[in-house]
A and B are shown apart, each in its own frame.
Chain A
Amino acid sequence: MEWAWLIPVFSFIAVPLIVVLGPRLPAKGAFLAILAMLGGLIVFAMVAVDFLQSGSNTNGCGISEFTKSLTCLYSINWFEAGSFVGDSSDGIRLVWGMLLDPLTVLILGLITIVALMVQIYSLGYMHGDPRFGWYYAFHALFAASMLTLVLADNFLLLYVAWELVGVCSYLLIGFWFERPSARDAAKKAFIVTRLGDVGLLIGILLLWSEVGSFSMVAAFEAANNGSMSQLTATVASLLLFAGAAGKSAQFPMHVWLPDAMEGPTPVSALIHAATMVIAGVYLVARSYPIFVASGDALTVVAWIGLITAFGAATIALTATDLKRILAYSTISHLGLMMLSLGAFGYTAAVFHLLAHGFSKALLFLGAGSVMHSIDELDIRKMGGLRKVMPLTALLFSIGALSLGGIPILSGFWSKDEILIAVSEHLPPAFIILTFMVAFMSALYMGRAMFAVFFGNLNPEHEHAHDAPMSMAVTMSILGVFALVFGLVSLDWPGNFDGIGTLVYFEKELHFHLVPWIAGLSTILAVSAFVLAYFIYARKRISLDSTRAKFNWLHKAVENKYYFDECYQWIVEAIVLTSARLLGLFDRAIVNDIGVNGPGWIVKKVGISMKIHITGHVYSYALGTMLGTIVLGVMWWLRSVG
């Protein structure tokens, strides 16, 4: 288990190798990234087995007093500054360290599996791209930084990895930077997440000033035993949540994620399933003791999660671009995870994170396969593709049904856990709205699935081909995960009692179904899919009259509630205007008076002083003599006086 740090290291090493040696290697070094990730997966598998077998007496491990689950800490000193004499140290010690607990292990598994699948898939998808090698280098760096983020045992290392993730997302979203929209999307993603990162940084520094160390465990302990006041805990956790909301695309910082679709589709799969957006949920789950100590912060998390989940689900219903539907569905599901965390549904959130990750990666790879084949994203122009690409249709349907919450598939179980947590810990209004979100998510998933793969085939698409080998295999593997992953929540015969006994906060959660919740969510999901089938596949039900009746609402939703326009206005009216004023101040006062002013004075003085430099010998000689005479007179006066 001490070797868990190797998981990201392979990929970190692969990055410069691909960049330097890539052009001379076959396939531009792509296999280096894949091998590195495979190595990471193998190490992960060994670490996971080791972790499941170890108990509190294993070296470095113990039962955490916060989560009450097995937690292992390994660290080495990075550097020390100041003195460490006795106990009263006034120095700063920074460490590289790992914190391994069930949360870490599960998310490491998600990242390594999905990243590996996406990398293999990209062999087919990105084939022939002029920057094929760079793509893999960024990809490896992206995955490696995300793995580091998850492994970090202190906030400083987490922040470093957090920013690396941000940079990599910028590079990959803007990978086809020849397209202006891709450039804009990359900038938008970077800037919007950056806004949240400022909050995160302040939060980390606040915790540091409170605790005196960047260590997460120390911060949790201070929050737990009351040495950190509740107010501080609230402020710190809200600041951390600001960072999490930026990365996880929570309202009101969700605007970057749909635009991030401009990147290559496998990158979207990676961003939406395994890296980047789950970082925010992970951060909240990781710093859960602080959030719990605050209490109020959890309410904020729940509210933001609910608003995000509901708003994004409605937008997903009206979007016509296949990838955008998936993007808004991601935002909606991230909102559900946050809602779940806000409702003390720690297990449910983590479980849904994993289940959603596998399903969403599958959906994006399926969408990529469609795009690769027919180069079209508008679902209104598609239909009946199941006839020409049956495998993609099958796998995409599995992903859609899973996310929609059809029983047995993984999404059903995790959504059920969230619904239970919400119904137990939050007011009734929340559970009603959550059911509506669940219904809508089934509806838009059904819409995407039926509109693209069912109905009549567009004659232009008759020559479409199914996914090539590398894409088909990886999609199939993820399809298996989407199909069966949910079963880990069940109470299996033998030692394994469901995921709730593995990853939990404070008390183990044995598998349980609340009949009315499970029943209602099943009915809602099935009816949503049936409805979608009749609307989009059979075209029996027309929505035109409804659309006409609620035209204003439809327009607002279709325009994404005018968030982009509002932000644009804020940027133009407030940011740019104040920037112009500041610029004027800078040019007029700082530059012209403050900097050029003294320069001008020195120049003028110099010009006025140079008139005695005539270049004539006799004027210098006169000066010398007069000077000598003056000195002589002064000496004389001195000797007289």
Chain B
Amino acid sequence: MMPLVYFQILSAILFGIGAYGVLARRSAVLILMSIELMLNAANINLIAVAAHREGLGHFANFDGHIIAIFIITIAAAEVGLAMAIILRMFRNRGTVDVSQINVMKW
């Protein structure tokens, strides 16, 4: 059985890439993809811990699985919504570059 820490390192790397993408990318679509990456990093972590605890002989506990499925569902909904917003943004302003979309300020 693979040690839990491998999965956690993978999860951390994925999360870090996602976080970097969110902060550094200019394209709204790429930011959205980076967010997905972060969500999936969290999913990996949850599933890994859940499976690890099961392997240690604990009574089967589906909390981690359930939360992961929730996250997948919400992520799907969120992508639909966010893509719609980005589409409208592109229609209206002709760009999805977030550095040029800064009207929400004082």
Docked complex Cα distance between A615 and B102 (Å): 4
Within 8 Å CB of B31, what residues of A?
617-618
Docked complex Cα distance between A132 and B104 (Å): 65
B23→A625 contact, CB < 8 A: yes
A618→B98 contact, CB < 8 A: yes
Interface string of B11-33 (1 = CB under 8 A from A): 00000000100111000100100
Interface string of B60-89 (1 = CB under 8 A from A): 000000000000000000000000000000
Docked complex Cα distance between A617 and B35 (Å): 13
Docked complex Cα distance between A625 and B106 (Å): 22
Within 8 A of B (CB), among A533-565: none
B23→A614 contact, CB < 8 A: no
B99 at the interface (CB under 8 A from A): yes
Residue of B nearest to A617 (CB): B98
B101 at the interface (CB under 8 A from A): yes
Residue of A nearest to B99 (CB): A616
**Interface size of B as a range:** 10 to 19
Within 8 A of B (CB), among A582-637: 610, 613-618, 621-622, 625
B105→A614 contact, CB < 8 A: yes
B56 at the interface (CB under 8 A from A): no
A615-B103, A615-B104, A615-B105 known; A625 and B98 CB under 8 Å? no
Docked complex Cα distance between A618 and B19 (Å): 11
Docked complex Cα distance between A610 and B106 (Å): 7
B99→A621 contact, CB < 8 A: no
Could you say which of B99, B101, B102, B103 has the most chain A C-beta atoms within 10 Å of its C-beta?
B102
A616→B102 contact, CB < 8 A: yes
A618→B104 contact, CB < 8 A: no
Docked complex Cα distance between A614 and B106 (Å): 8
A616-B98, A616-B99 known; A621 and B23 CB under 8 Å? yes
Docked complex Cα distance between A621 and B28 (Å): 13
Within 8 Å CB of B99, what residues of A?
616, 618
Within 8 Å CB of A616, what residues of B?
98-99, 102
Within 8 Å CB of B101, what residues of A?
617
Interface size of A in residues (CB-CB distance below 8 Å): 10
Within 8 Å CB of B24, what residues of A?
618
Docked complex Cα distance between A622 and B98 (Å): 14
A625→B19 contact, CB < 8 A: yes
Residue of A nearest to B105 (CB): A615
A621→B102 contact, CB < 8 A: no
Within 8 Å CB of A617, what residues of B?
28, 31, 98, 101
Docked complex Cα distance between A618 and B99 (Å): 8
In the complex, what's the smallest C-beta–C-beta distance from A210 to chain B, in angstroms?
63
A614→B102 contact, CB < 8 A: yes
Return the contact of B22 from the options A613, A614, A615, A621 (Cβ within 8 A): A621
Within 8 Å CB of A625, what residues of B?
19, 22-23
Return the contact of B23 from the options A610, A615, A618 (Cβ within 8 A): A618
Interface string of A135-169 (1 = CB under 8 A from B): 00000000000000000000000000000000000
In the complex, what's the smallest C-beta–C-beta distance from B56 to chain A, in angstroms?
22
Within 8 Å CB of B23, what residues of A?
618, 621-622, 625
Docked complex Cα distance between A618 and B104 (Å): 13
Could you say which of B31, B103, B106 has the most chain A C-beta atoms within 10 Å of its C-beta?
B106
Return the contact of A613 from the options B19, B28, B98, B105 (Cβ within 8 A): B105
In the complex, what's the smallest C-beta–C-beta distance from A636 to chain B, in angstroms?
15
Within 8 Å CB of A618, what residues of B?
22-24, 31, 98-99
Within 8 Å CB of A621, what residues of B?
22-23
Interface string of B24-65 (1 = CB under 8 A from A): 100010010000000000000000000000000000000000
Within 8 Å CB of B104, what residues of A?
615
Docked complex Cα distance between A610 and B104 (Å): 12
In the complex, what's the smallest C-beta–C-beta distance from A620 to chain B, in angstroms?
9
Within 8 Å CB of B103, what residues of A?
615
Docked complex Cα distance between A613 and B104 (Å): 8
Residue of B nearest to A628 (CB): B19
Residue of A nearest to B101 (CB): A617
Residue of B nearest to A620 (CB): B104
Within 8 Å CB of B98, what residues of A?
616-618
Docked complex Cα distance between A622 and B23 (Å): 6
In the complex, what's the smallest C-beta–C-beta distance from A3 to chain B, in angstroms?
73
Within 8 Å CB of A622, what residues of B?
23
Docked complex Cα distance between A622 and B21 (Å): 11
Within 8 Å CB of B22, what residues of A?
618, 621, 625
Docked complex Cα distance between A613 and B98 (Å): 15
Residue of A nearest to B28 (CB): A617
Docked complex Cα distance between A621 and B101 (Å): 14
Docked complex Cα distance between A618 and B21 (Å): 10
Docked complex Cα distance between A618 and B31 (Å): 9
Could you say which of B23, B28, B31, B103 has the most chain A C-beta atoms within 10 Å of its C-beta?
B23
Within 8 Å CB of A610, what residues of B?
106
Within 8 Å CB of B19, what residues of A?
625
Residue of B nearest to A614 (CB): B105
In the complex, what's the smallest C-beta–C-beta distance from B96 to chain A, in angstroms?
11
Docked complex Cα distance between A533 and B105 (Å): 94
In the complex, what's the smallest C-beta–C-beta distance from B106 to chain A, in angstroms?
5
Docked complex Cα distance between A69 and B23 (Å): 101
Docked complex Cα distance between A621 and B24 (Å): 10
Docked complex Cα distance between A615 and B101 (Å): 8
Docked complex Cα distance between A13 and B104 (Å): 64
Residue of B nearest to A609 (CB): B106
Docked complex Cα distance between A617 and B24 (Å): 11
In the complex, what's the smallest C-beta–C-beta distance from B16 to chain A, in angstroms?
11
Within 8 Å CB of A615, what residues of B?
102-105
Docked complex Cα distance between A618 and B103 (Å): 14
Additional 15 contacts, C-beta under 8 A, given A613-B106, A615-B105, A616-B99: A614-B105, A615-B103, A615-B104, A616-B98, A616-B102, A617-B28, A617-B98, A617-B101, A618-B22, A618-B31, A618-B98, A618-B99, A621-B22, A625-B22, A625-B23
Q: Which A residues are within 8 Å of any B CB, using their own CB? A: 610, 613-618, 621-622, 625
Provide 24 A-B residue pairs closer than 8 Å at the C-beta atoms, listed in order of the A residue: A613-B105, A614-B102, A614-B105, A615-B102, A615-B103, A615-B104, A615-B105, A616-B98, A616-B99, A616-B102, A617-B28, A617-B31, A617-B98, A617-B101, A618-B22, A618-B23, A618-B31, A618-B98, A618-B99, A621-B23, A622-B23, A625-B19, A625-B22, A625-B23
The 9 A-B residue pairs with the shortest CB-CB distance, nearest first, are A615-B105, A615-B102, A617-B98, A613-B105, A610-B106, A616-B102, A615-B104, A613-B106, A621-B22
